[in-house]
Amino acid sequence: MFDPADPAFLADPYPVFALLRARSPVHDHPGLEMPVAVSHAACAEVLRSRDLGRIWVDAQPPADFPAFNLLHRNSLLEREGPSHARLRALVAGVFGRGHTARLAPAVRDLADGLVGDMCAAIERHGQADVMEGLAAPLPIAVIAELLAVPEPERSLLRGWSTAIVAMYEPDPGEARRAAAERASAGFVTALRELAALRARRPGADLVSDLLSAGIDPDELVGTAALLLMAGHEATVNVIGNGVLALLHHPRQWAALVAGAALEPAVEELVRYDPPLQLFERTAVRDTAVAGHPVPEGTRIAALLGAAARDPAVFDSPDSLDLARHPNPHLGFGMGVHYCLGAPLARLEVAAALDALRRRLPGLRRPDGPAGEPVRRPDLVMRGLRELPVAG
């Protein structure tokens, strides 16, 4: 079984996933203290089974995590049944008012400007960092615009998001746990102040629309936090992991520069190296996944990275194919918890790829050790800290 903290495994988990899939679709993982599904079929069953749900358990001790627990207790992602259906319908209705279409021109302009700045940095220094120059600032700016977050809070969103999602790792450690609570408290305060402002002066933003739909104040904060964390971290890592994959597959990059369609390219980059590698459910009654018993109250994980390379579903799964069709990846989830922000994430990744292929068609890795990417030491949120490029 794999060690979720092993740097060699984190650098490339896919050979280990292949070995596990060949043995069984579900395995008990003593270190994670739960079974893990590794085949596409078993992971899909975990995601869509109504015998399995998102059952939130407060971070312990609760007195140390009041803000973190408030965010998650009121999150759409952590609810089931009528409570989930009500909140999801409300949020979906607000998203359906055209926020993605409203933001599309600004997203494209922002991506173009960020890549333009990268071009200038390459001109001056010989290289630029995709993570710092494009992948991180783009989704934060989009989420800030979606929620109409003002400064100085807008500049704090990225740090808050990174600190909070560190709690999802198997063993975040005391320092990261404390940082997650501080970030949660900052976010709760900022969103409550923003909600009070929008209640007095509504605007053309998601917070105003959620308030007009009658959302509960704590649910508003939880919904905004979910958008921040899912919308920021996942998109950052799709862009970073995706650009690295393209650097490793120059023919696919050349096809993209030559005009390959962006829509299937985005789906393939989500599949090839998923930003979210592990997603948990808890059995609400005695059940089984791919024949593996899951007693009531037992947690089980879907290893989405393993599902993404399942040869039973994907031809040549270890190959990057920007024209792959069909592409039934699980990167945006499945079932009642399918990602409501998927259209916005697709828009952002497509805008980033389009700006890169237009303005940096000669994209490549810089020579020498300074050109090596630096990976984050995390299992759940798979991504990079640095990705130097030249052009």
Q: Give the model confidence (pLDDT) of 298-315 as tens digits.
A: 999 999 999 999 999 999
* C-alpha of 50 from chain center: 23
CA distance 138 to 118: 13
Residue-by-residue DSSP string for 337-373: G--TTHHHHHHHHHHHHHHHHHH-TT-BPPSSGGG--
In this predicted structure, what is the pLDDT of residue 91? 95
Does residue 60 form part of some domain? yes
The CATH number that applies at residue 283 is 1.10.630.10
Q: Check residue 336 and report its DSSP letter.
A: G
CA distance 365 to 55: 43
Arithmetic mean of pLDDT, 270-296: 97
Lowest mean pLDDT among 88-97, 243-252, 316-325: 88-97
Arithmetic mean of pLDDT, 182-187: 97
310: containing domain = 7-389
Report residue 391 as tokens. 């052009």
Does residue 372 form part of some domain? yes
Asked whether the predicted pLDDT for residue 231 surpasses 90, the reply is no
Does residue 32 form part of some domain? yes
**Better pLDDT: 66 or 230:** 66
Does residue 2 form part of some domain? no
How many domains, the chain? 1
Question: Which value, in Å, is the radius of gyration of the alpha carbons in the chain?
Answer: 21
Q: Give the model confidence (pLDDT) of 69-101 as tens digits.
A: 999 999 999 999 999 999 999 999 998 899 999
Query: Which of 333, 331, 332, 345 lies closest to 146, judged by CA?
Result: 345
